[in-house]
Amino acid sequence: MELMNELLEKYFRGETTLTEERELKRYFITGNVAPEHEIYRALFEEFKQEKTETANAPLKKVIPEQRKIKRIWFQTFAYTAVAASLFLLVWIQFPQATEDFAVIDGKRIENQEYVQRYTEKKLNKVSNILARSMEPMRSFKKVRQDMEPLQNVRDIKAKMNAIQSKLNNK
């Protein structure tokens, strides 16, 4: 108790350290307070009580709200970008699902069988044109085959010249 008396006197002179003041607070709030010290209990309880006072909630939101606004903008932008990407992906992947028709002579034709027959007919036509285009090539090949005997004549002539020159030498 003597120690607490000294500490209290020191406290009121403004000479205590923070550690000593914390010890005093502990004594008055949690310990068995001596009757002569009881009158000071309310003082230390008041200090403890004041430390629990808080500002109103909106005060703490001053800055976080600004950050929240920024985050909302960012999220909106991000979600929009993702949605646009998904739409593009679907649009590119499945164009036939939404365009199941053909345009023939400027008309929109949705009859699949008709379009198929029309396409085969056109393809045959293209095939015939190609076949006709290849005709001169076949003729050229035939001429080349026909001219092959002439090559043999040239070889025979060369051999005959060689034999004749040998006979002349003899």
Partner 1 sequence: MESTQFNTQILNHSDKLFRFAKSILRNVDAAQDAVQELILKLWEKRDQLDEVENMQAFTMRSMRNLCLDTIRQHREEVEIPAEIEYVEPNPYHLIERKDLAARIRLMIDNLPELQRTIIRMRDVEEMEITEIAYVTSLTENAVSVNLSRARQKIREQILNEQKRVEERVWN
Residues that bind partner 1 (CB under 8 A): 11-15, 18, 21-22, 39-40, 42-43, 45-47, 49-51, 53-56, 59-60, 62-64, 66-67
The CA distance from 39 to 50, in Å, is 18
DSSP classification of residue 37: G
43 versus 123: smaller Cβ distance to partner 1: 43
61 versus 117: smaller Cβ distance to partner 1: 61
47 versus 94: smaller Cβ distance to partner 1: 47
The CA distance from 52 to 33, in Å, is 23
Chain centroid, CA 4 distance in Å: 70
Contacts 24+ apart (CB under 8 A), 155-158: none
